[in-house]
Structure 1
Amino acid sequence: MLINIFLIVVLAVCVVTDLRKRKIYNKVIFPSLLIAFGMNIAIEGISGLGESLLGFAAGFALLLIPYILGGMGAGDVKLLGLIGALKGSGFVLESFIYTAVIGAMLAILVIVMRGGFKKSLGVGMPYGVAIAGGAAMALLMDVEFL
């Protein structure tokens, strides 16, 4: 439960900074990663650290290629990695699926608001919002959370 609350707080901070400044700050992500590893060790012992590291790697890897291709910022990649570090690899994979759906809906919204696809080319969007929404959906679908 404490991990879920911490995740919600971090996601809220990242959404605000992504909307306002189009950045997800390292000064939020890096301390949160240390806290994620520490919380998982405290709860599950050394196996918790293993699952946390695996979750971080999975989340990071899921967005690494889009980042390399210029489709998103490094903060987005690190945020998904943080989600995996907090909640594990299964959760981050589920979050990623919801993130893709929410991201697609946001992209359609941008296209409609810009007046068409051609006018929307090259226009970015704060993908941290989609990532936070995906993680929130995964939390809501988690029976243990409710």
Structure 2
Amino acid sequence: MIDILLIVILLICVITDIKNRKIYNNIIYPALLFNFIYQFITGGWTELGYSFIGFLIGFGLLLIPYMLGGMGAGDVKLLALIGAMKGGNFVFESFIYMALIGAVFAIGVILFRRGVLKSMLYYISSLKQGVRLQGGVSRGSLTATYPYGVAIAGGAFLCLVMQGWNLM
């Protein structure tokens, strides 16, 4: 049941992050409260403790990038929720997948933003001809941002698939 709820939350967060560049508290907080209650009812204090530890791990993994301005607060809370729902090991493995997916997205954003790919192709072509063109990648294209909630959701979903999800 937790896996189904997690998938639904991830889908909602991906949609809102793409559409509005926000992951809303009115999705995260009720899900977090429900999760803590569910964990306590199904496993007692032990499961609630594991859930809280997963929450802290997920929160801690993105806290420094958030404090440096590279991540939104919604992204931090989403990863913390994933940790609370699935535990510390799961959120750490999701973090690894998320970083890989995020890196691929970042490279894609850089390459396809403001003609960077076109500029690179012209530069490579000019080198083949023995001519060196001036120019390069603009600073603005290197500071491009994108909705990182997509990478977070992708990492969690990939982790669910790799671990074999439990839909009951």
Same fold (TM over 0.5): yes
Q: CA deviation at 1:40?
A: 1.3
Tell me how far apart the structure 2 counterparts of residues 110 and 32 of structure 1 sit (CA, whole Å).
31
Aligned equivalent of 1:50: 49
Aligned equivalent of 1:109: 108
Tell me how far apart the structure 1 counterparts of residues 31 and 17 of structure 2 sit (CA, whole Å).
17
Aligned equivalent of 1:37: 36
Larger Rg: 2
Asked if 1 retains the 8 angstrom alpha-carbon contact of 2:110 and 2:144, the reply is no
Tell me how far apart the structure 1 counterparts of residues 165 and 11 of structure 2 sit (CA, whole Å).
21
Q: TM-score, normalised by structure 1?
A: 0.95
Tell whether 2:20 aligns with 1:21.
Answer: yes
Asked if 1 retains the 8 angstrom alpha-carbon contact of 2:25 and 2:74, the reply is yes
Asked if 1 retains the 8 angstrom alpha-carbon contact of 2:66 and 2:76, the reply is yes
Q: How many equivalent pairs are there?
A: 145
Letter in 2 for 1:112: L
Letter in 2 for 1:89: G
Tell me how far apart the structure 2 counterparts of residues 102 and 120 of structure 1 sit (CA, whole Å).
19
Q: CA deviation at 1:144?
A: 5.3
- In the alignment, structure 1 segments of 5+ residues that lack a partner are none
Aligned equivalent of 1:7: 6
Letter in 1 for 2:20: K
Residue by residue over 1:11-42, the C-alpha shift from the partner in whole angstroms, topping out at 9 and shown as x without a partner, is 00000000000000011111111011112112
Aligned equivalent of 2:158: 137
Higher relative contact order (CA 8 A, sep 6+): 2
- In the alignment, structure 2 segments of 5+ residues that lack a partner are 117-136
Query: Which residue, out of 143, 162, 166, partners 1:122?
Result: 143
Tell me how far apart the structure 2 counterparts of residues 28 and 105 of structure 1 sit (CA, whole Å).
27
Q: TM-score, normalised by structure 2?
A: 0.83
Structure 1 segments of 4+ aligned residues over 3 angstroms from their partners: 143-146
